[in-house]
Amino acid sequence: MKSIFTYLLLLMFFTSCGSTYFLSTLDSKNTDVEKQDNGDFLIETDSLWIAYCFNGQDAPVWITVYNKLDKPLYVDWKKSALVINDEAFSYAGGKLDISGSGDFYQYDTGYGTSSFGGTMEKREDITFVPPKSKVSFSSLSLNFNFNNLDKELYEKGYMLDKEKGAFKVNRISFNEETSPILIQSFLTVYEKPEKPMLFKQDFFMTEVVKTKSVSPQKLSTEQMNRGDFFYSIKPSNNDVTMTIIGVAVVGVAAVGLIVGGGSDVHLAE
């Protein structure tokens, strides 16, 4: 019995004590897309503007459509889709589980793979956008997995927290060709169904920063609120370890009940 508890204490001691944070930045290659000061991506015509925001944990995709006209507009989700690394997902109808991966080479020095998974909240077929008003939609959030990125690709650097204090990070920079995350959104909008307008926007990840020093909530407000910024969290192993410990302790108690007849071991309620 003593050796079992000694093992559990050692397991707790060697478990990682903190989470790992991956901070990511996106950009767009479209010449008709204007990146706002707050990091949102905006495309504008005489009849409407469409803005994309990815801010937050696991890249929630917020789409805002503003109708400039004196007449209603309609977003046709059946004829709209999101494409991630060449995998297409329709925006229309119920829920959809999505997953995929992307490979890349970087400067002939390393190779990496990034995978993603999540649930997309698909929309009803048509959304009404009243005149001179805007409607926002949260289409999905994704859990990107950056654990397979080649460690040799990371370069050491620094970032500032909200108190203007510098902390160490590791970062990888990408361009459109080397980025492991490529996102396209196709949005169909119309005033009259026989005259649809198709808007295509492209996004790619330009940087991933890896750190254990500071959680995203301790970054500056300006950084945390940017529309081109999202983050992913790899939790510490503590939760997993505590589950294992809990199972082990229950197992030890069960052995005590069997061997000792149940008189000396009691499980807490």
Mean pLDDT of the chain: 77
Q: At residue 263, what are phi and psi to the nearest 5 degrees?
A: -85, -20
Least confident of 54-68, 157-171, 234-248: 234-248
Predicted confidence at residue 111, as pLDDT, reads: 52
Predicted confidence at residue 137, as pLDDT, reads: 85
Global pTM value: 0.72
Predicted confidence at residue 42, as pLDDT, reads: 97
pLDDT tens sequence across 161-172: 888 888 889 999
In 3D space, the residue among 199, 178, 177, 180 whose CA is nearest the CA of residue 189 turns out to be: 199
Q: From residue 134, give the alpha-carbon distance in Å to each of 42, 53, 63, 201, 244.
A: 14, 15, 10, 19, 50
Mean pLDDT of 219-246: 74
Mean pLDDT of 180-200: 94
Give, for 4, the enclosing helix (H) or strand (E).
Answer: helix 2-14
